[in-house]
Structure 1
Amino acid sequence: MTTLHGTSEPRFAGLRESLRQNIASGEEIGASLVVDIDGERVVDLWGGHRDAARTTAWEENTLTNVWSITKTVTSLAALMLVDRGELDVYAPVARYWPEFAAAGKREVEVRHLLSHTSGVSGLEQPATVEDLYDARGAAARMAAQAPWWKPGTASGYHVMNYGHLIGELVHRITGRSLRQFVAEEIARPLGADFQIGAARADWTRVADIVPPPPWPSVPAATGASAGTDSPAHKTLTGPAVAPETANTPAWRAADIGAANGHGNARSAARILSALARGGQVDGVRLLGEKTIDFVFDVQSDGVDLVNGLPVRWGIGFALPKKATLPWIPDGRVAFWGGWGGSMIIADLDRRMTISYVMNKMGSGLLGSDRSTAYVQAVYDQLP
Structure 2
Amino acid sequence: MDVQGTVAAGFEPVREAFRRNFEQRGEAGAAVSVYRDGTKVVDLWAGAKHADSTDSTDSTDSGSDSVSGDGDDSGNSGTTGPTPWTADTAQVVRSATKGVAAAVPLLLHQRGLLDLDAPVATYWPDFKAAGKDRVTVRQMLAHRAGVPVLDRRLTLAEAIDLGASTRAIAAQAPIWEPGTAHGYHAHTFSWLLSGLVHQVTGRTIGRWVAEEIADPLGLELWIGLPPEQTHRVGRVGVAPETEPADSPALKIRPKPAVTAAYGDPESLTRRAFDVIETRPDENDPAYLAAELPGSAGVATARALARFYAATLGPVDGGGARLFDPETLALARTEESAGPDRVLVVGTRFGLGYMLHGAAAPFLGAGSFGHPGRGGSLGFADPETGVAFGYVTNGMRKTVTADPRAQALVRAVRSVL
Q: Could you tell me which residue of structure 2 aligns to residue 346 of structure 1?
A: 380
Q: Could you tell me which residue of structure 2 aligns to residue 238 of structure 1?
A: 275
Describe the SS at the equivalent of 1:58: coil
TM-score by length of 1: 0.91
Distance 1:222 1:165 in 2: 28
Q: Could you tell me which residue of structure 1 aligns to residue 96 of structure 2?
A: 69
Q: Supply the RMSD in Å over aligned alpha carbons.
A: 2.3
- Point out where structure 1 has 5 or more consecutive residues left out of the alignment: none
Alignment map for 1:56-135 (pairs within 5 Å): 56-135=83-162
Query: In 2, are the aligned partners of 1:77 and 1:182 still within 8 Å (CA)?
Result: yes
Q: Deviations over 1:275-326 (max 9, x none)?
A: 23289994524222112221233221112111223111111111222x3245
Q: Could you tell me which residue of structure 1 aligns to residue 338 of structure 2?
A: 302
Q: Could you tell me which residue of structure 2 aligns to residue 136 of structure 1?
A: 163
What's the offset of the Cα at 1:224? 4.3
| Amino acid of the structure 2 residue aligned with 1:164 | W
CA, structure 1 residues 240+29, in 2 after alignment: closer, same or farther (shift >3 Å)? farther
Which stretch of structure 1 is more off in the superposition, 65-74 or 15-24?
15-24
CA, structure 1 residues 233+150, in 2 after alignment: closer, same or farther (shift >3 Å)? farther
Distance 2:180 2:16 in 1: 45
| Amino acid of the structure 1 residue aligned with 2:331 | V
Q: Which of 355, 367, 372 is the equivalent residue of 2:406?
A: 372
Q: Which of 340, 356, 359 is the equivalent residue of 1:324?
A: 359
**Are 1:148 and 2:198 an aligned pair?**
no
Q: Could you tell me which residue of structure 2 aligns to residue 251 of structure 1?
A: 287
Distance 1:356 1:177 in 2: 26
**Are 1:314 and 2:313 an aligned pair?**
no
Q: Could you tell me which residue of structure 1 aligns to residue 67 of structure 2?
A: none
Over the matched positions of the two proteins, sequence identity in percent amounts to: 36
Q: Deviations over 1:200-249 (max 9, x none)?
A: 111111101113579xxxx976664886665324312212664x611113
Q: Could you tell me which residue of structure 1 aligns to residue 47 of structure 2?
A: 48
Q: Could you tell me which residue of structure 1 aligns to residue 185 of structure 2?
A: 158
Describe the SS at the equivalent of 1:22: helix
Q: Could you tell me which residue of structure 1 aligns to residue 390 of structure 2?
A: 356
| Amino acid of the structure 1 residue aligned with 2:293 | G
Query: In 2, are the aligned partners of 1:225 and 1:305 still within 8 Å (CA)?
Result: no
CA, structure 1 residues 222+253, in 2 after alignment: closer, same or farther (shift >3 Å)? farther
Q: Which of 201, 221, 233 is the equivalent residue of 1:206?
A: 233
Query: In 2, are the aligned partners of 1:278 and 1:287 still within 8 Å (CA)?
Result: no
Which stretch of structure 1 is more off in the superposition, 338-347 or 9-18?
9-18
Alignment map for 1:161-180 (pairs within 5 Å): 161-180=188-207
| Amino acid of the structure 1 residue aligned with 2:276 | P
| Amino acid of the structure 1 residue aligned with 2:339 | V
Distance 2:180 2:265 in 1: 21
CA, structure 1 residues 286+277, in 2 after alignment: closer, same or farther (shift >3 Å)? closer
What's the offset of the Cα at 1:22? 2.5
TM-score by length of 2: 0.84
Distance 1:349 1:281 in 2: 23
Distance 1:223 1:111 in 2: 31
Q: Could you tell me which residue of structure 2 aligns to residue 271 of structure 1?
A: 307
Which stretch of structure 1 is more off in the superposition, 172-181 or 15-24?
15-24
| Amino acid of the structure 2 residue aligned with 1:111 | R
Whichever of the two has the greater Rg, that structure is 2
Q: Deviations over 1:171-206 (max 9, x none)?
A: 111110011001111100001010013211111111
Distance 1:93 1:251 in 2: 28
Q: Could you tell me which residue of structure 1 aligns to residue 34 of structure 2?
A: 35
CA, structure 1 residues 327+337, in 2 after alignment: closer, same or farther (shift >3 Å)? closer
CA, structure 1 residues 263+327, in 2 after alignment: closer, same or farther (shift >3 Å)? closer
CA, structure 1 residues 234+118, in 2 after alignment: closer, same or farther (shift >3 Å)? same
Q: Could you tell me which residue of structure 1 aligns to residue 327 of structure 2?
A: 291
| Amino acid of the structure 1 residue aligned with 2:275 | G
What's the offset of the Cα at 1:122? 3.2
What's the offset of the Cα at 1:271? 1.2
Distance 1:84 1:193 in 2: 25
CA, structure 1 residues 119+280, in 2 after alignment: closer, same or farther (shift >3 Å)? farther
| Amino acid of the structure 1 residue aligned with 2:157 | E
Distance 2:17 2:166 in 1: 42
What's the offset of the Cα at 1:14? 2.2
Which stretch of structure 1 is more off in the superposition, 204-213 or 178-187?
204-213
Query: In 2, are the aligned partners of 1:279 and 1:288 still within 8 Å (CA)?
Result: no
Describe the SS at the equivalent of 2:229: helix
| Amino acid of the structure 2 residue aligned with 1:302 | G
| Amino acid of the structure 1 residue aligned with 2:19 | R
**Alignment coverage as a number of residue pairs:** 374
